[in-house]
Amino acid sequence: MSEPFEPKIVAFVCTYCTYAGADLAGTSRMKYASNVRIVRLPCTGRISPMFILKALQKGADAVLVSGCHPGDCHFAQGNYHARRRWTVFRALLSFTGIPEQRIRFSWISAAEGAKFTELINNLTEDIRKLGPFEQYHELQTVIETQATY
């Protein structure tokens, strides 16, 4: 049998809540799967759907978007914009055939290091079961070889 598949997960997080929550997991020496790569942004409101598509194109098997809980946004409303965008984007995803399980949206506060740890472990486990996102990665190769810029 081949080696167990290790997915690559890209996380887009806001600096005020989830990034701080991930830092807290670190300072509390909690342990989680090493598959996640965190991209720090000021606010979930800054996260464009294009970032998610680009991450998937470039080899990510799953994407996590996480910010402050509703009502807790440092910028008052950024996470509401992110949530609305996600609702619309989700519909588009299923239309284009990208499985929804590959994108996870969550709220993690600066105090929720344990929740962050749990989320990463669960997500990693789920994606391991789901397998690599090869269809999409292959598509990227097609684009790169055929496209004339």
| Cβ 8 vs Cβ 63: under 8 Å | no
Q: Phi and psi for 19 in degrees, rounded to 5?
A: -60, -40
Q: Which amino acid is at 114?
A: A
Shortest distance (Å) from residue 128 CB to another protein: 14
Is 48 an interacting residue with respect to another protein (CB under 8 A)?
yes
Residue 107's beta-bridge partner residues?
A: 67
Is 64 an interacting residue with respect to another protein (CB under 8 A)?
no
Candidates 30-38, 100-108, 128-136, 138-146: pick the segment binding another protein (CB under 8 A).
30-38
Distances (CA, A) of 32 to 36, 56, 118, 131, 133: 9, 22, 8, 19, 22
User: What's the rounded Cα separation, in Å, for the pair 72 and 37?
Assistant: 24
Is 75 an interacting residue with respect to another protein (CB under 8 A)?
yes
Is 10 an interacting residue with respect to another protein (CB under 8 A)?
yes
Neighbour count for residue 43 (Cβ, 10 Å): 22
Is 70 an interacting residue with respect to another protein (CB under 8 A)?
no
Closer residue to another protein, CB minimum distance, 54 or 128: 54
Is 47 an interacting residue with respect to another protein (CB under 8 A)?
yes
Is 114 an interacting residue with respect to another protein (CB under 8 A)?
no
125, 130, 136, 141: CA torsion to nearest 10: 80
Is 83 an interacting residue with respect to another protein (CB under 8 A)?
no
Closer residue to another protein, CB minimum distance, 43 or 98: 43
Where do contacts with another protein occur on this chain (CB under 8 A)?
Answer: 8, 10, 15, 19-20, 22-23, 25-27, 29-32, 34, 37-43, 45-51, 54-55, 58, 60, 74-78, 81, 85, 117
